Amino acid sequence: MKFENTLEFAKYLDTIDPLASYQQEFNFPKVNGKKVIYFTGNSLGLQPKKSLEYVNQVMSDWAQLAVEGHFYADKPWWDYHERFCEPLSKVVGAKASEVTVMNTLTVNLHLLMASFYRPSGKRVKIICEEKAFPSDQYLIESQVKMHNLDPKICIIEAKRRPGEHNFRTQDILELIQEHGQEVALVLMGGVNYYTGQVLDMQAITQKAHSVGSKIGWDLAHAAGNVALDLHQWEVDFAAWCSYKYMNAGPGNASGCFIHQKHHHNKDLVRLAGWWGHNKQRRFLMEKEFDPIDSANGWQVSNPSILSLAPYLASVDMFDQVGMQALITKRDKITSFLEYTIKQVAQQTRTQYEIITPNDPIQRASQLSVLLHGQGKDLFTYLLEQGVIVDWREPNVIRLAPVPLYTSYLDVYQFGQIFKQACSAI
């Protein structure tokens, strides 16, 4: 589609947008009494208005039923988490039995590594990407140390080529091949948090398996944002947080995927707890751990129902909309944003570089813009004018138009404010 940087055109795109009405379903912060233009849904998604109802229901059930709520609440608590399996499996391309929600992202990656990073003999290495999200770096290093191994030997980082911002799939595949039978686990971010690059998860998964390694994906920036087919790709495990593109609220529960080929393997090491035990016999308080033969077999504690409630509100909304519709709008609105930035930069002679790949297969809803010279003043100016973007040192702004609640009008208005900012600074 040929875009135009005009108010009329942006409004026209909104009138033909099948998801336009969803913006009303969210609460927006305000600056100077006006709803903000929110581009940080990749960091913390907005609050769906419905989530309050879900939370209130739990509060009211607790007040009226107390312990009886485990079985007689509107949505009983003892299997509340199972309500996620079906709708969330569609978000990540899995079978319902392969998905569960529990804990938080880094914690889940630790639990899953306990099962799937089992170094032995020469097979001790973990391949990850360089400059991974810090939590992932600490996670991997501490796991290696827990096995009394040396991180300097065991952690192999895939690197970008000098002067390039993004990874080349071929380089990652070759790195896995090079380390071959020494690779115990490949663990990477499916969507890079800094650049927004989407990795070729299918090809990398295949390659990891071809050398006999396990593979796990951190899908923090992928869940609810990109098309995933975890079951078909035969990914061993994955985990994601729910508070970025999935709008479940700060620090809320993480989703996990464990491929069904592992469900029946009772020899796998697990850090177990009673919520992963045979559901029929859970309250018999028996001695031997008998894991549920689904992803729920990795559950540990009885989950925080108050925190699952807003996540369920969001998952129900994703189920109603469907990933396909989201992805269609995502591509269009991201391209419109890219076009708008280019137009403004040209008009104001701003030096910039979009470091997110422009190949539509390698990007999703985020554009990372490297500004040459502007510094943080630009970020502050935008903020004062009610545009919330994310700032990363040294001078990258990350913008994520979220298909569920960003309008084309928002993008146009951002362009106007960005233009003032570039001229003023």
Segment contacting ligand PLP by CB under 6 A, of 64-72, 217-225, 388-396, 409-417: 217-225
Minimum CB–partner distance for residue 120 and ligand PLP (Å): 27
- Contacts for 116-122: CB closer than 8 Å, 24+ residues apart: 116/185, 116/214, 116/216, 116/236, 116/237, 116/268, 117/143, 117/147, 117/184, 117/185, 117/187, 117/214, 118/184, 118/269, 119/147, 119/149, 119/154, 119/184, 120/184, 122/181, 122/182
Q: Does 226 bind ligand PLP (CB under 6 A)?
A: no
Minimum CB–partner distance for residue 221 and ligand PLP (Å): 5
Of 127, 188, 241, 309, which one interacts with ligand PLP (CB under 6 A)?
A: 241
For ligand PLP, give the closer residue by CB, 89 or 366: 366
For ligand PLP, give the closer residue by CB, 236 or 410: 236
Q: Is 198 helix (H, G, I), strand (E, B) or coil?
A: strand
Minimum CB–partner distance for residue 134 and ligand PLP (Å): 8
For ligand PLP, give the closer residue by CB, 9 or 391: 391
DSSP state of 236: S
Instruction: Give CA–CA dist 277/280, Å, rounded.
Output: 9
For ligand PLP, give the closer residue by CB, 136 or 390: 136
SS3 percent helix, strand, coil of the chain, rounded to 5, is 45, 15, 35
Instruction: Give CA–CA dist 311/224, Å, rounded.
Output: 12
Segment contacting ligand PLP by CB under 6 A, of 129-137, 262-270, 342-350, 393-401: 129-137
Token duo for residue 364? 């999703």
**17-36 binders of ligand PLP (CB under 6 A):** none
Q: Does 133 bind ligand PLP (CB under 6 A)?
A: yes
Minimum CB–partner distance for residue 135 and ligand PLP (Å): 4
Minimum CB–partner distance for residue 141 and ligand PLP (Å): 14
Q: Does 135 bind ligand PLP (CB under 6 A)?
A: yes
Q: Does 220 bind ligand PLP (CB under 6 A)?
A: yes
Distance of CA 97 to the CA centre of its chain: 20
For ligand PLP, give the closer residue by CB, 99 or 223: 223
3-state per-residue secondary structure call for 263-323: CCCCCCCCCCCHHHECHHHHHHCCCCCCECCCHHHHCCCCCCHHHHHHHHHHHHHHHHHCH
Binding mask 170-189 for ligand PLP (x = CB under 6 A): -------------------x
Q: Does 106 bind ligand PLP (CB under 6 A)?
A: yes
Minimum CB–partner distance for residue 99 and ligand PLP (Å): 17
Q: Does 104 bind ligand PLP (CB under 6 A)?
A: yes
Of 37, 88, 99, 105, which one interacts with ligand PLP (CB under 6 A)?
A: 105
Q: Does 246 bind ligand PLP (CB under 6 A)?
A: no
**278-317 binders of ligand PLP (CB under 6 A):** none
Give strand pairing partners of 243: none
Question: How far apart, in Å, are the Cα atoms of 105 and each of 52, 102, 160, 295, 297?
Answer: 23, 9, 26, 15, 17
Q: Does 136 bind ligand PLP (CB under 6 A)?
A: yes
B/e letters for 99-130, b = 16+ CB within 10 Å, e = fewer, are bbbbbbbbebbbbbbbbbbebeeebbbbbbbe
- Contact footprint for ligand PLP (CB under 6 A): 104-106, 133, 135-136, 189, 193, 218, 220-221, 241
